[in-house]
Amino acid sequence: MVPEGGDWRDLPEDVAKEFMGASFYLGGGKTGMARRLSMDEPSLTLTCAPAQKQTERCHPTETRPLTVREYARIQTFPDEWMFSGTVSDQYKQIGNAVPVNLSWAIGRSLIRLFNDIDAREHEESHFEEAYQVAKNMIPLQLFPIDMFNLQQTHPDEIIHNKLRKVKSTKEKNLDISKNVLISLVTNENVAPYLEQDARIYYTGKDFPSTVELNHLYYFMPYVKKKGIRDLYLIRVARVGSKHEVHPETDPNDLRLVFEIEFVKQLFDDYKQIVLEIWHTYTDTTLENVMSLKTK
């Protein structure tokens, strides 16, 4: 008798009086009684059991309580997430849980807040910190960039570069004043770099906030146990995910994506360097890299 989105107030009066008993004559809406959810509205807060008379959670179109899996979907748990214990235990676990997507959103907000605080504190203490680091009194603290915030501010691309011929250098088409990002390439992704045929580079989940992304121009892959050899142009830098080419991966697992183009083999053989940031990255200029030729 209760329509989608309705409750006991939609019952005929005589039926409502019989169903509600003494509660029919008390004040208050008691809208959880004989309550049917709606397909077109947000769900009510889920309790630890869907069939308690005061807080019923009836299926929108079928006359039955919500199932454990329907409970879990409303709380945005993935379908593969398994709950243990009795059915009653499982309802209680889900009802007491914070919705998964809400936790994710709060976490992202905290990351943005902490990065904003760090940026302000870093700017205020820049000179003192630089002095202390120069004296080797304290190590420089590095923080990962906020990928989510970066995606909001640069939804399409962060940089877009093109090769330019530079007459002031002996190296054709190279501008030694440009910034170079040297990055570790994992063993499972190394094949196209060995063939000088790589087209795209995904960073890890964390990328140092100290690297000036909008100034990057060149890219050099660091092959483990070998070093650096080849120079690439960073055609485009943007925020993306491996989901673009690997559908089985999480689309919310944001990374920096560098669309790259091979320029030339800079050294006859690989040269070892120190990866200064997290043993994964070095941010420098092409002029500094070129100086390795004479060392």
Short-list 22, 24, 44, 26, CA closest to 35: 44
pLDDT in tens, 155-181: 889 999 987 655 544 555 789 999 999
What is residue 138's predicted lDDT score, i.e. its pLDDT? 44
Q: Please, are residues 182 and 275 in contact by the beta-carbon 8 Å criterion?
A: yes
The confidence score (pLDDT) of residue 259 equals 95
> Does the pLDDT at position 19 exceed 80?
yes
Compute the average pLDDT of residues 280-291: 93
- Buried-exposed string 221-247: b where 16+ CB fall within 10 A, e elsewhere: bbbeebbbbbbbbbbbbbbbbbeeeee
Amino acid letter for position 58: C
The mean predicted confidence, pLDDT, of the chain is 85
Share of the chain above pLDDT 90, in %: 47
Enumerate residues 6+ apart whose C-beta is below 8 A from 272. Answer: 226, 227
Q: Does the pLDDT value for residue 188 go beyond 70?
A: yes
Collect all residues with Cβ–Cβ distance below 8 Å to 226 and sequence separation of at least 6: 270, 272
Please calculate the CA angle 104-258-208 and round it to the nearest 5 degrees.
55
By the 8 A CB rule, do 222 and 184 touch? yes
d(CA 150, CA 212): 13
> What pLDDT is attached to residue 29?
67
pLDDT of residue 172: 56
Higher pLDDT, 240 or 168: 240
* Count of helices and strands (H, E) across the chain: 8, 7
Question: Can you read off the two tokens belonging to residue 123?
Answer: 């700017």
Beta carbons of 285 and 179 less than 8 angstroms apart: yes
The tens digit of pLDDT for each residue in 65-83 reads 999 999 999 999 999 999 9
pLDDT for 140 equals 47
For residue 200, give both structure tokens.
Answer: 């795209």
pLDDT score at 122 = 52
| Total Cβ atoms within 10 A of residue 59 | 16
The predicted model gives 213-236 an average pLDDT of 95
Answer with the residue of higher pLDDT: 256 or 139: 256
Helical ranges in 125-168 per DSSP H: 126-134, 147-153
Tokens at 8, concatenated? 């006991």
Q: Closest by alpha carbon to 252, among 143, 114, 104?
A: 104
pLDDT tens digits, 107-116:
888 888 887 7
DSSP annotation of 284 reads E
Instruction: Give yes or no for a contact between 261 and 233, defined as CB atoms under 8 angstroms apart.
Output: yes
pLDDT at 253: 87
CA distance 106 to 101: 9
87-96, 133-142, 148-157: least confidently modelled range? 133-142
Instruction: Answer yes or no: is pLDDT of 231 > 70.
Output: yes
Mean pLDDT, range 137-148, rounded to an integer: 68
Q: Between 142 and 60, name the one with better pLDDT.
A: 60
pLDDT band of residue 136 (cuts 50, 70, 90) is low
